[in-house]
Structure 1
Amino acid sequence: MSELRRVVVSSPRTHRARMAAQRSWSLAHDLDEQTELGAVYVRTLIRAQLRAALATLTVVAVVIVGLPLLLVLVPAVSRSRVYGIPVTWLALALCIQPIWIAAAARHLRQAERIERDFARLVDRS
């Protein structure tokens, strides 16, 4: 008995179809093409950045409003002195500045982490 040989008949377009199937979905493509899905991811990134900014703003606002409020509610604090230096000056020099630096450093770390996570998500897709 003779051996039967299989023959594969295919269309010239079959190669393109396989290539398209092999290409995976790309978030970077959606972002570049400004598709609806890409817009959703960008809005998510912007909202995450906004939340981080609002958290930093809250810390700054509490300090800015808190110190004058403390001085109004407790007038003895504004009149007291340590080694001849008003306590309010010491509070501004020794307490407020480190809070600004800490808030700025925390915000910077959060913003970088958000961007790094987004970039990782784009690269992974």
Structure 2
Amino acid sequence: MATIGVIDDDAAIRYAMENLLEAAGYEPISFDSGEAFLAWPHLGRIDIVLSDVKLRGMSGFALLEQFVVRHPTVPLIFISGNNDLEMEQRALHAGALGVLSKPVNPDILLGQIERALAVRRTCHG
């Protein structure tokens, strides 16, 4: 069972993501900020990160920059309510595996998670 870190400052979105991920057989662990996520002492358990781009405090981009240094093989997928091509290109260039628009299509999200798991398995060789 893959453990998925969910970072969003909107409690309703976190709750919806937790329900979707649990129903799909994943173990979601939710955080209301990038700071809370990075302070969690068990980051090594995380297989995939799903993060909002615009968070209170640390942005999703700052989170990605700090997280990738510590865990370079863990894929991060951004979820954003304000996607535009420039932001998407910036995210992919920074190392995000993908960018999904809110409201997230569950089938697309679960497909991205499976892709992320395949990338992670490849990195662990």
Smaller-chain TM-score range?
under 0.3
What is the TM-score with the length of structure 1 in the denominator?
0.18
Greater helix proportion: 1
What is the TM-score with the length of structure 2 in the denominator?
0.18
Structure ranking higher on relative contact order (CA contacts 8 Å, 6+ apart) = 1
